[in-house]
Amino acid sequence: MKILVLNSGSSSLKYQLFEMPNEQPICSGLVDRIGLEQSTITHKNFKSGKEEKFLIEAPIPNHESGLLQVTELLKDPEKGSISDNSEIEAIGHRVVHGGEQFASTTLITEEVKAKIKELFALAPLHNPPNYLGITVAERVFPKAKQVAVFDTAFHQTMPPLAYRFALPKSMYTELGIRAYGFHGTSHQYVSKKAISYLNNPKAKIITIHLGNGCSMTAIDSGKSIDTSMGLGPMAGLIMGTRAGDIDPSIIFHLINERGYTAQEVNDILNKKSGLLGLSGFSDMRDVKNAIKEGNQDAALAYELYAYRIQKYLGAYIAVLKGLDAIVFTAGIGENDPDMREAVCRGMEFFGINLDPVLNSQKSQSIREVNFKDSQVKIFVIPTNEELEIGKQAYELVRK
């Protein structure tokens, strides 16, 4: 069975085509820097044990344009892997926010789409492109079963101590206001890898997902018990354009004293803050280039980014009451050794001892970057949300 997986991020679109159940990737790709200058599509084919790589530079103003270009690539005589759309039997979609309505993978119906749309306000950077991916895929692949895998599902194991806010009870019982958590598919995938590597099903692990969106999760015995994002994917760590944790009084000050509308404040916190607000750049690669040129705003942004991660590390060690491993994953977590060093710097008190030599090396598989005598293992584990989504989609549609 051929299953296509679509993973629409806030500024990117990852895709993989799998032959299931053997989990064999047929092709994969990344549509990067959507809506920014120098947008690209990196497309890879896997044929006869060999990898063919193609780089396409093209303006990609939005997610719909990106997805339509991907479907053309899949059928391209030279670069593609299928001759007809009907070869794809199912499409697994990453959907960021499932609220309390969706605690597991589900077949997409009109009712499911309506509920995903209702949650736009809680994940304004993600659920709209997720929804758009579904609607475009339904048009392009009308015979395929569409499956939603929700980022929030993995965090449904959190206890009330972690997901409840100190607000009137009715706001939870009647309005569903609570912490849901996100990047669950990624946190679940890399924590499984770490548990297997450690050969310890009861391991206490902190997973650190650093991409355009960023989050951390405290995992005990394979279950999420706390996570940095909340009602929507804006709380917690500093991100590409999202502010992360702020004093809520800032919002009321801007509205009541400075004349901003609620929508303007929402746009600022979601789209104009984070690395972009601090430095003028939303992409960490651009931030680091600016630092090399002596940009002090970029240097401060980089330091603040690492500082916030350190604060959550301390908090989650307390929540877990111990720690066996930390995991760096996603674009920045996997590819920026300087950020890993900045996060681990001064954390020896907690048994976290980074080996700078191992940290500087590159690998496409799980690796340790700690000194041998480090009490806590420090892993770099490439995330593969697409494979996890493909596996869950296959398990659902094959029944």
Is the fold of 2-150 the same as that of 200-380?
Answer: yes
Which pLDDT score, from 0 to 100, does residue 116 have? 92
| Lookup: tokens for 335 | 């590819």
| Lookup: tokens for 24 | 């064999």
Q: Is 211 annotated as a binding residue?
A: yes
Q: Is 212 annotated as a binding residue?
A: yes
Strands (DSSP E) contained in 64-142 are: 88-95, 106-107
| Lookup: tokens for 267 | 């746009």
Which pLDDT score, from 0 to 100, does residue 124 have? 80
Which pLDDT score, from 0 to 100, does residue 103 have? 81
Q: Is 210 annotated as a binding residue?
A: yes
Domain limits of the chain? 2-150, 200-380
First to last CA, the chain: 13
Residue 132 Cα to chain centre, angstroms: 18
Q: Is 126 annotated as a binding residue?
A: no
| Residue 151 is a catalytic residue | yes
Which pLDDT score, from 0 to 100, does residue 259 have? 97
User: 88-95 and 2-8: which strand pairing?
Assistant: parallel
Kindly name the residue from 32, 76, 84, 151 that is annotated as catalytic.
151
Q: Measured between alpha carbons, how far is 339 from 332 in angstroms, rounded to an integer?
A: 8
Q: Measured between alpha carbons, how far is 272 from 275 in angstroms, rounded to an integer?
A: 9
Q: What is the pLDDT of residues 236-255, one digit of tens each?
A: 999 999 999 999 999 999 99
Q: Measured between alpha carbons, how far is 291 from 269 in angstroms, rounded to an integer?
A: 24
Q: Measured between alpha carbons, how far is 338 from 298 in angstroms, rounded to an integer?
A: 14
CATH architecture of 200-380: 2-Layer Sandwich (3.30)
pTM: 0.84
Q: Is 289 annotated as a binding residue?
A: no
Q: Measured between alpha carbons, how far is 277 from 267 in angstroms, rounded to an integer?
A: 12
Which pLDDT score, from 0 to 100, does residue 159 have? 96
Residues of the chain with pLDDT below 50 are: none
Q: Is 308 annotated as a binding residue?
A: no
Q: Measured between alpha carbons, how far is 397 from 399 in angstroms, rounded to an integer?
A: 5
CA angle (7 as vertex; 201, 262 as ends), nearest 5: 105
Number of Cβ within a 10 Å radius of residue 357: 9
Which pLDDT score, from 0 to 100, does residue 104 have? 86
| Lookup: tokens for 371 | 């000194």
Q: Which is the CATH superfamily of the domain at 2-150?
A: ATPase, nucleotide binding domain (3.30.420.40)
